[in-house]
Amino acid sequence: MLLVYNITDYYYDYKDNLELTKKLEKVKSNTDFLKLKKINSEVVGIIKIKNTNINYPIVQSSDNTYYLNHSYTKEKSSAGAIFLDYRNDLENLSKNNIIYGHHRLDNTMFGSLSNLFEEEWLNNKDNYYITVDTREEKLTFKIFSVYTISKESYYIKTYFSNTKYFKEFLETIMKRSIFNFGTNVNTNDKILTLSTCKNNFGKRIVVHAKLLKKEETN
């Protein structure tokens, strides 16, 4: 069984740790990829979403368990880190590329993904864009689906044996959305999927976006 499924078994309900919070704030104000890479060679990008608290380094390990309880500096932390599925590569995108993070009650990490279910956030079209900075590129994605769902492995598939199956996948995740973003997707698109726990009863918050453009940064 793929280790990726273990992500759905974690949910933390705890008070802020002052030292950890200070470190997170420091990271959020640091948009220099190379500086982050020197801190941890497993940093692969930086993710940002407007009108959320999401502005964090993305890390990647050889499995989907290590960063569940380690920070981006590799220190033990129940808050974990924002991390890319071990099967994906931001420099060579798969059909579906998954990024995970804990849904913290203080709205750090992926806690503020809950904003995407609020009318005020949804009514501002400028919010629909996710940027991911890598060593050499800035990737811009546009959100097309947001929903909550019980624990499953379907939406975190990264490989599709043929176009028919990928088309069915896209149709399914489009239909699940609680809001019509007015964005069409097709089988030529590269998808970014964000996944976090909604609560400790098995519910997940899921966000899907499609790649709009790549811009070289060097």
Contact 203, 150 (CB under 8 A): yes
To the question of pTM greater than 0.95 for the whole model, the response is no
Residues 6+ apart with CB under 8 A from 36: 27, 30, 43, 46, 57, 72
For residues 203 and 158, give the distance between their C-alpha atoms in angstroms, rounded to a whole number.
21
Active-site residues: which are they? 197
Domains, the chain, ranges and CATH?
3-216 (2.40.260.10)
**Do residues 160 and 169 touch, judged by C-beta distance below 8 A?**
yes
Rounded to whole angstroms, the Cα distance separating 170 from 110 reads 23
**CB of 137 within 8 A of CB of 217?**
yes
CB 22 within 8 A of CB 115: no
Beta-carbon contacts of 141 under 8 Å, excluding residues fewer than 6 positions away, are: 129, 130, 131, 132, 192, 209, 210, 211, 212
Q: Return the closest-CA partner of residue 21 out of 100, 99, 78.
A: 78
Quote the strand ranges of 14-107, DSSP E.
43-49, 55-59, 82-84, 96-100
Output the tens digit of pLDDT for each of the chain's 218 residues: 233 333 333 333 334 445 555 565 555 555 578 888 889 999 999 999 999 999 999 999 999 999 999 999 999 988 899 999 999 999 999 999 999 999 888 888 999 999 999 999 999 999 999 999 998 899 999 999 999 999 899 999 999 999 999 999 999 999 999 999 999 999 999 999 999 987 655 689 999 999 999 998 76
